[in-house]
Structure 1
């Protein structure tokens, strides 16, 4: 199958985001092991006993970072894919995708490493700008058919 430049660009950045989500998931698992804080009794027993079936603030921070990715990246993947169908210029599409990826990466780093405020909030807001822009452009493109 042959993809146009915008579609290929979107696929590239979308896969980077999925890889980033996998990395956060792996970090969460590694922090669980290091902190001996397991969510399930069978995992705790396997790693030392039921006393390790507990919550840990660092593990929870990683889990929140991962959950935040799910809440933001999944909508981006949908809106971005539909946006590609509206025929945007490659330069504008690339800018939207790149800004989102960089903002989400900074957001994850700020979340996992508990960086000083407002780093995480600013990264979140910056990441929302291309999403809102793409959504508005999609709605404008299909409004005449609704």
Structure 2
């Protein structure tokens, strides 16, 4: 009886695993991305952890080098500037209207992850250290 039960569990597990959609690691920034997770803390000096965002944010990298980001209210993404890939782990974003004119561009480390994710940072604002986006559109 134990052998039969074990064989049934293995068969069910195999059948369920075949139904899972495997989303590969992205290979390009080009496309639309939706914020899925934030790595940060709740208060200054607090422990860092992954958490769900409270705002619906989307970003888009166009093939012509334009970079778009939606406001925190989740409305349509706005042109924020341009981007340039410096290496397979670093990109540079030049702001259309920089908050500080002395620093119109900034560099970000990024990485692609299985599941269709792009993680970038390191920030240091409002409890956010890194952001993880999931690719919405493949171009």
TM range (shorter): under 0.3
TM-score by length of 1: 0.21
TM-score by length of 2: 0.22
